[in-house]
Structure 1
Amino acid sequence: MTSIAVAPVKNRITSIDILRGFIMLIMAIDHCRDYFHIGHPDATDLAITTPFLFFTRLITHFCAPTFVFLSGVSAYLAGTRRTKGQLSAFLIKRGAWLLVVELLIINFAMTLDPGYHLFVLQVIWTIGSSMILLGLLVLAPLPVTGIIGIIIFFGHNIFDYVNVGSLGQTFCWKMMVSSKGFGEYWALDKTHGVLIAYAVLPWTGVMLLGYVFGSLYKKTVEAARRQRVLLYTGIVLLLIFVVLRAFNIYGDPAPWSVQKNTALSIISFFNVSKYPCSLLYLCMTLGISISALSLLENADNKFTRILIVYGNVPFFYYVCHWYLLRVINIITFPIQGFKIKDLIGAFDPPAVYGFSLFGVYVIWIIVITALYLPCRWFSQYKKTHTQWWLSYL
């Protein structure tokens, strides 16, 4: 179980690693903005946003859906080396491990609070929870998993129109089905609480569909057929987004409307709901990401090879980038006249702390550049070693 013998280099699907590497990089923009943008303006508030600020937020909308979808694809690929029973056990254990990581490792990086007075349930939480649910479903035939995924994916916004009464006020419902906006707080006791950012079930639908699409990467599937299916699926999702959004028919609790100028009207159109994730949010983001998977099938250049380095080790990169952001916080906090003790336990830095949006992008470039060599080292280590715990990272 602890063998460190050098193993043959493992084969990976480069298009998946390229796309995953790209979204991991742009994800860091949003977290840099959270921690370093002075005033912390809401990029989706039409009263105060600007086109560039909204674009900075919009491009990071693609990260969570793509990451969850590709996690489903990776789960299917992991199953090609295991029996159904082994895959089920692996997904349940790995999902449980991700829950621990979110609650203890990521939450500490976000709050620097050793007392854990606040638990924030974000994307790693929802991936872990969805992975456990997928672990239970992989024992069923693939079409059954696909049907359940489709129902959840297209049907979860029905609860925008259905009154579930007191059930909708329970912690279980808010955590699993529909939390209203980012940061719905649930007190555990007088000094501890949970901030629900990601309702699990809608994201589970994304992972289930990713798992089904993973079957396109079987060796028996021709590359040309895989590319066609991916491209057509992406186009259909984008068409669904445009039609449903244009007429405000269904799929997002926040309809768009004509604003005082063209730029704000365009922003309103694309200002779809992430918390909880709406159907239109998922169609817009996954429509582009799934199409990109098709177009990246044979991509090979200097830039894509850089992206592959990050895409090979997304979990390692994700954890490291949180702690690197906090190190930068600790360095810049006293420079701007604040005391480090004011940073401990704070989910959000003070409104008067931080930098312009240009400064946020500078910090982002520093972060992703600093993590390149560690990611390259760990990527090579994973490819050439066989320790059992590497499959959990």
Structure 2
Amino acid sequence: MRDVEIQLYQTKKIINDHKHADEGWFWVRYSAYPYKGCSNGCRYCYEWDEKYAPMKDYRLLDKVVMVKENAVERLKKELPRKIKDVVCVGDWQPVEAKYRLSRKMLEIVYQLKFPLMIIERAPLLTRDLDILSDISKQTDAYVGFTIVATSDDQIRLHFEPRGPSVKGRFSSMRRIADAGVMIGTLAMPILPYIFDSDEELRTLVKMTADSGGRFVLFGGLTLWGTCKDVYYEALKRAPAILAGSPQEHEAFLWDKKTEEWNQNKAIQSQWGRRCHLAIAEECERQGITHYIPRPVSFFPRELRRNKEIAGNLFIKARESWMLSESPYRSHAFTKAGRAVDSLTEDIGDLYRRKGRQGLLALEGIGEKLASEIEGLLSVQASYTKE
């Protein structure tokens, strides 16, 4: 924590309430974080952009960490007012070792029986395996570990200067998986021309499976505004950092190649499709998924089939987008998913009463999507938790 200034303050509000759950991605409806700023200083982070930066001067992102002293009290007051859905809480960066706010927020989530997601990279999370395991036994709980490289070489350290080691992340993944908590890798953002070879991506999937991970979710790089400036600065410094290494010559080309990638949507689409397919194919070989299955056990029993089918439609929408198919196809799956998701009657009962016509009466459902839903209805869902 050297060279990082700690500031304490009282926040007026802790929960970010999203209109829809994060469809096809994390399934998060609410998020609540106890700290602003991040001492890890990853050069690819989207929070370097002024639009997302948690403080007025984006350049302070890794130099100042603001502690929300009343985070636990705010969560205890705000969360009971929310409809039960997935909440993403906590932040286990180094400051958490002292303030322990993330652990206390987990205790609130457990008391209120809310389903939980954690997006993390720090082995410090394993300190709280006891409460995390308790939440997992009570309702849905899952963890995504951000991992974008497979080794702790100079390149990884250049882009994640104070981030935890790759070895430490996979070791922590194994401990969390062994505790019975669903966990996987968030391969995001994959850095073009740096950590994006098919071999690297396949290795990342295999290391995840070998560590007990059950999914790998791929995402691309955000390059706009000031986060683009920070990332390009890191690219330009890379050759000096890698002087004398086998990657030195290649590093001289990273900024030019990345600029071409960022300016050319066709190149981006082809790149995204290739990365997605490499990960998806290796996930299938390893017996894990290239998406996060939607958690549904916390919903009322009569709505779980709707949520599961809607989840499948949202995943198909994401899949279509990742494969650079027609945007209309992706939008159609999303619209259909929302129609099923908002139903207050079990879609199975609706189908038994009205058949295909009942499905066609739903907003955005045509013949092809009705057939898709009929196929999903034929798969018997299993709901094991009350």
TM-score using structure 2 length:
0.29
Answer 1 or 2: which has greater helix percent: 1
User: Which structure ranks higher in relative contact order (CA pairs < 8 Å, sequence separation ≥ 6)?
Assistant: 1
Answer 1 or 2: which has greater strand percent: 2
TM-score using structure 1 length:
0.29
